[in-house]
Amino acid sequence: MGFEQDYKGLQDYYEARRLNTRIHVIQVLFGAVLVLYLFAFWYLQIVKVDYYRRLSDNNRLRRVTIKPLRGVITDAEHRVLANNRVAFNVRLDREKVTDMKTFFPRLAGILEMPESTLRDRIARYRGRPVFEPVVLKEDVDLAEAAYIESRRLELRGLSVEVESRRNYLYGPLAAHALGYVGEVSEDQIKTDPSGEYELGEIVGKDGVERQYDEDLKGDKGWKQVVVNSLGREIQEIEAGRKPDPGRALRLSLDLDLQRALEAAYADEAGSAVFLDPASGAILAIISRPAYDPNVFAHRFSQDIWGGLVNDPRRPLQNRVSMSKFAPGSVFKIVMSIAALEDGIATPARGDHCTGTWRFGEKVYQCWAVRKGGHGYLTMREAIIQSCNIYFYHLGNDMGIDRISKWAHRFGFGEPTGVDLPHEESGTVPDPDWKRRTVLRDPIWHPGETISVSIGQGALEVTPIQMAMFAAAIGNGGTLYRPHLLLSREVREGIEEDERQDHVIRRVELRPRTLEVIRDAMWGVVNEDGTGGRAKIAGRDICAKTGTAQVFRASRDIDADKLPKDKRDHAWFVGFAPKDNPRIAWAVFVQNGGHGGTTAAPIARAVLERFFQKLDSRQGVQQLASVAVPQ
Amino acid sequence: MPAWRSLNNFDWILFLAILATCSVGLAVIYSATTGTPSAGAFHRQMTYAFYGIGLLFLALTLVFGRVVNASKSWLGAGGVQFQPSEIAKAATILMLAAYMGRERVRGLGVVHFAAICLIIGLPVLLIMRQPDLGTAVTFAPLFAGVVFIGGIRVRTLLILGLIATLALPMAWGHLKPYQKERVKTFLEPTRDPKGSGYQLIQSLIAVGSGGLLGKGFLAGTQGQLQFLPEQHTDFVFAVLAEERGFIGAMLALGLYFVIIYRCIATARAARDRLGVFLAIGVVCVFAGQALLNIGVVVGLLPTTGVPLPLMSYGGSSLASTLLGMGLVLNVWMRRLVN
């Protein structure tokens, strides 16, 4: 062996050793990483096992809400006004359809719907999990549901789903009072403090449905299910909780009176409320134009909804409590009471009406100006004839502060607290109010007092305030909060009356004042006054008409020939009978012209039905007392 | 979950048949590759040809490849589909071994280093064009292993490290948005729990909820209810850890350790340099993939999409792994032959 070879051998030896060392390094490196992983598994699976177990359970377990049935709404005599009915929806399970192309034409034929509509509805579910069924047609009738069920084999994926749906038995009857239901808005979900609302949940949107949603909606039930990563239910694992149905509500409404009222309104716009002067319980309530609340229960009602919202006649507005109008001559009752109580005038105060009165630079007219005025009048005659000149003078003597004080006492200018959402306060103007709100002309002018004296000017009231006022005159001065809720079902079959005291306040009135006012209001209807069309023999109906000006007609224009939307609003507000009144009301007809012409007959129709029922009930009671001798 | 009933219904005959076929496959590959390390001229030419074919397939893939998950990584004719990148991987190992084992190379000169870069760089570039970052990444341990075993100087290593550190921000700019997203998500998984952080979180939940003993065969809710994505490829080890628990994971980790350890033992016992580099090349690719994959599952590494050798579903990967193991077995068998 030569040196070179030895050297080479030595080099080989060192090279082999180095190689060996490097291999060893790699071995250690891999070993170290494996040990690191061992600790990683130990940490995740042994140390943090509880944490990850919980996350794993949260992943696969879902709480599924079971919707409760909504509470039934009935009238005072337990006649159902709103309940729930079974609805059939046609659904498509997209997963089961293999060939959409040939499927669509057949589907369109069977459902009798255009293909384009079907495609649109399916397109809306693009991006949603494929097992989520698409509702193609809502609320089909039983025959169609049966027909589709019978053809299921032929059309795989098509099925009929049964759903509970709100049902208003009489459609638009008392629509604004009952309200309607709909899917909860995202806003509501965010702002609700209880945080109980879920997307897609049905809640009350207006009227009683909204006001008493808490009672009506019931308690949701739930079940626990195992779901996969797509959210599809794999199995149910716990019993969960059954849903509790909502409470049944009994309203003070009387379906018979309500129907009479609906019929009497015919095509007129406006609103009316009839209530019990001894409690404030609302017996009948209407707002026109109305809508059918059933349409809101549909999923595909966008166009109907848009039509209602954009309708210039504003059918969604509840004109009983959400709209305010000038009270017109009805306010003369407030004027009279204020004058009598504050000692400004006695019932004997006389005045002379020539048809016009110059005050400052302006000439104020009486509606009787064309026949040369009313001549000499006392207070009673001024109310019966609804003379403007008499009350101009009275208002001028009294001053705006007194008028405002008494209007406020009777609840004008503040919400009555009726159990309906979004109530309007109305306006009772006075110098202070004007300074605060009318910034371009903050000074109170004496002429404004004159306008307010006959219920015009900035004065605005709601029909519900007017009805409460009429009831107060009838019952001797007590303001009862108007309300619809009579009782609610606490447990199945057990009702609990509303124990709430509905008295807002008692306005102290001298008996003499009440006597004069009631007598004058009796005269309005029974003594050839402005409300003669409401007269029912033997019923002693007391009322006051009112006309709220919409368009200032000059002396030469015949008001009856004006276009309908320029005509005045008509009021007819009162109570009956004169002694121990059983019913009070405010009837308002939008653009109805004179109160006595259009509003009085509507009240009369309802009152006839009311007294007819009262008589038969009393007859039964008499019979009962005869049949059971003491 | 009726785990035991399912287990009774398990087709043991099919299972054993598959196991036997795999063994036969391993034996055939072993026999087919016998003699390769003898470094004869003919075999070297075979190696060059194999490497060339691997590159050709990669190039063809870029033109005719089938797009799966936004990358063109599959080549197929008729019913046969395969990933050329897996063939290229095996070919590259052979090529590197053939080159590094060619003569008595002392230390690692610039020429050698450049040659290694070229041999690895060609397939990597083609694979990144697909783009299949996951497969491309598996070449990194191979590169590191060969360069290290080849005897790179510590000084050179430091300089290269410095260059790499400086180049890193530049490379960041060249990454695709989804790749950046993956790295960001790895650093902060809760950033986007429904998006790219989802996989990582679901994997950790699967592993962690397995506990000591696991939820049982077919009873892993994370896997069975499809919360785990890519559960038969990238996250197969998470399924194992969930259903079999810490004990199962440790057994599997132990098996991988044995395989890696035996491969390294083979490298140490190899008769010649060719054998050393073959065994090192195979073990680096194998261990690199295994450790990358499991590192992702336990949240120590960002999602790369590297399959777990021998466990992940995928014929091409299994074939190339078995091919590599066949080579290592040969090296071991021939350690005493002179």
Please, which pLDDT band fits residue A199 given cuts at 50, 70 and 90? low
- How far does Cα A555 stand from its chain's mean position? 41
Tell which of A5, A8, A37, A50 to mutate to test the B interface (max B CBs under 10 Å): A37
So what's the pLDDT on residue B186? 63
B230 within some domain: yes
Is B205 near chain A, with CB under 8 Å? yes
- Which tokens sit at A340? 């009598």
So what's the pLDDT on residue B192? 54
- Of A260 and A56, the one with more pLDDT: A260
Model confidence at A98: pLDDT above 80: no
Model confidence at B284: pLDDT above 90: yes
So what's the pLDDT on residue A161? 80
Task: Report the share of chain B in percent with pLDDT over 70.
Answer: 75
- Highest-scoring range by mean pLDDT, A115-124, A213-222, A298-307: A213-222
So what's the pLDDT on residue A146? 86
B10 within some domain: no
Å from B222 to nearest chain A CA?
7
Q: What is the mean pLDDT of residues A529-557?
A: 78
Is B198 near chain A, with CB under 8 Å? no
Rounded to 10 degrees, the C-alpha dihedral A505/A509/A514/A515 comes to: 150
Which residues, numbered 253 to 282 in chain B, qualify as contacts with chain A under a Cβ-Cβ cut-off of 8 Å?
253, 256-257, 260-261, 264, 267-268, 273, 276, 280
Q: Which has the closest alpha carbon to A470: A546, A542, A385?
A: A542
Cβ distance A53 to B294 less than 8 Å, yes or no, reads: no
Q: Which has the closest alpha carbon to A366: A348, A350, A354, A377?
A: A354
The 3-state DSSP class for residue A486 equals: strand
Model confidence at A554: pLDDT above 60: no
Please, which pLDDT band fits residue A549 given cuts at 50, 70 and 90? confident
Least confident span in A392-396, A603-607, B191-195, B289-293? B191-195
- Of A579 and A188, the one with more pLDDT: A579
Rounded to 10 degrees, the C-alpha dihedral B43/B44/B47/B51 comes to: -160
N- to C-terminal Cα separation, chain A: 149
So what's the pLDDT on residue B40? 44
pTM to 2 decimal places: 0.65
- Locate the chain A residue with the closest alpha carbon to B194: A229
Tell which of B262, B298, B300, B301 to mutate to test the A interface (max A CBs under 10 Å): B298
pLDDT digits (tens, 9 = 90+) for B167-206: 777 777 777 777 777 667 666 655 555 555 677 788 888 8
Please, which pLDDT band fits residue A320 given cuts at 50, 70 and 90? very high
Q: Which amino acid is at A113?
A: M
Please, which pLDDT band fits residue A101 given cuts at 50, 70 and 90? confident
B260 CB neighbours in chain A (<8 A) are 30, 34
CB A210 within 8 A of CB A249: no
Cis status of the peptide bond prior to A133, with omega within 30 of 0? no
Please list the alpha-helical segments (H only) found in A91-152. 100-111, 115-123, 142-150
Cβ distance A40 to B205 less than 8 Å, yes or no, reads: no
B4 within some domain: no
Cβ distance B204 to A228 less than 8 Å, yes or no, reads: no
So what's the pLDDT on residue A280? 93
**For residue B131, what are the contacts with CB-CB under 8 A and spacing of at least 6?**
B71, B176
Cβ distance B106 to A15 less than 8 Å, yes or no, reads: yes
Domain ranges of chain A: 3-47, 86-167
- How far does Cα B190 stand from its chain's mean position? 28
- Of B21 and B168, the one with more pLDDT: B168
So what's the pLDDT on residue B5? 45
pLDDT digits (tens, 9 = 90+) for B50-86: 888 888 888 888 887 777 666 777 777 656 677 888 8
Tell me which H or E stretch contains A431: helix A431-437
Model confidence at A402: pLDDT above 90: yes
Is A35 near chain B, with CB under 8 Å? no
Nearest to A30 among B151, B211, B287 (CB): B287
pLDDT digits (tens, 9 = 90+) for A450-461: 999 999 989 999
Domain count, chain B: 1
So what's the pLDDT on residue A109? 81
Cβ distance A25 to B257 less than 8 Å, yes or no, reads: no
- Locate the chain B residue with the closest alpha carbon to A56: B205
Average pLDDT of chain B to the nearest whole number: 78
Which residues, numbered 292 to 331 in chain A, qualify as contacts with chain B under a Cβ-Cβ cut-off of 8 Å?
none
Least confident span in A84-98, A370-384, A543-557? A543-557
So what's the pLDDT on residue A1? 43
**For residue A433, what are the contacts with CB-CB under 8 A and spacing of at least 6?**
A404, A427, A458
Cβ distance A59 to B206 less than 8 Å, yes or no, reads: no
So what's the pLDDT on residue B2? 41
- Locate the chain B residue with the closest alpha carbon to A17: B268
Nearest to A22 among B148, B246, B249 (CB): B148
Can you give the length of chain A in residues? 630
d(CA A245, CA A70): 6
Is A232 near chain B, with CB under 8 Å? no
Q: Which has the closest alpha carbon to A94: A136, A135, A148, A131?
A: A131
Distances in Å between the Cα of A378 and the Cα atoms of A125, A328, A369, A389 are 75, 20, 18, 12
Please, which pLDDT band fits residue A399 given cuts at 50, 70 and 90? very high
Strand A362-365 with A375-377, pairing: unpaired
The residue written with tokens 């009497």 in the block is: A264
Cβ distance B211 to A45 less than 8 Å, yes or no, reads: yes
Burial A438-459 (b: 16+ CB within 10 A, else e): eeeeeebeeebbbbbbbbbbbb
Q: What is the mean pLDDT of residues A479-507?
A: 84
So what's the pLDDT on residue A558? 54
Model confidence at B15: pLDDT above 50: yes
So what's the pLDDT on residue A390? 94
So what's the pLDDT on residue B164? 80
Q: Which has the closest alpha carbon to A322: A463, A433, A184, A447?
A: A463
Is B151 near chain A, with CB under 8 Å? yes
Average pLDDT of chain A to the nearest whole number: 85
pLDDT digits (tens, 9 = 90+) for B96-120: 888 887 765 566 777 888 888 999 9
Q: Which has the closest alpha carbon to A199: A293, A67, A92?
A: A67
Q: What is the mean pLDDT of residues B119-132?
A: 87
- Of A108 and A7, the one with more pLDDT: A108
Model confidence at B157: pLDDT above 60: yes
CB atoms closer than 10 angstroms to residue B250: 18
Is A17 near chain B, with CB under 8 Å? no
Is B39 near chain A, with CB under 8 Å? no
Span A86-167: which CATH code? Answer: 3.90.1310.10
So what's the pLDDT on residue A555? 45
B267 CB neighbours in chain A (<8 A) are 23
Nearest to B208 among A23, A24, A44 (CB): A44
B46 within some domain: yes
- How far does Cα A347 stand from its chain's mean position? 43
Q: What is the mean pLDDT of residues A593-612?
A: 89
> Domain span at residue B64?
15-167+186-336
Q: Which has the closest alpha carbon to A585: A605, A569, A566?
A: A605
- How far does Cα B257 stand from its chain's mean position? 15
Q: What is the mean pLDDT of residues A243-251?
A: 90
Is A14 near chain B, with CB under 8 Å? no
Q: What is the mean pLDDT of residues B134-139?
A: 84
Model confidence at A53: pLDDT above 90: no
So what's the pLDDT on residue B37? 47
Model confidence at A230: pLDDT above 50: yes
Q: Which has the closest alpha carbon to A412: A430, A390, A396?
A: A430
pLDDT digits (tens, 9 = 90+) for A276-302: 999 999 999 999 999 999 888 766 556
Å from A228 to nearest chain B CA?
4
Please, which pLDDT band fits residue B135 given cuts at 50, 70 and 90? confident
Strand A249-251 with A73-74, pairing: parallel
Max Cα-Cα span within chain B? 63
Which residues, numbered 295 to 324 in chain B, qualify as contacts with chain A under a Cβ-Cβ cut-off of 8 Å?
295, 298-300
So what's the pLDDT on residue A329? 92
So what's the pLDDT on residue B63? 80
Å from B57 to nearest chain A CA?
32
Least confident span in A346-360, A422-436, B314-328? B314-328
pLDDT digits (tens, 9 = 90+) for A163-196: 888 999 999 999 999 999 987 777 777 777 766 7
Task: Report the share of chain A in percent with pLDDT over 70.
Answer: 89
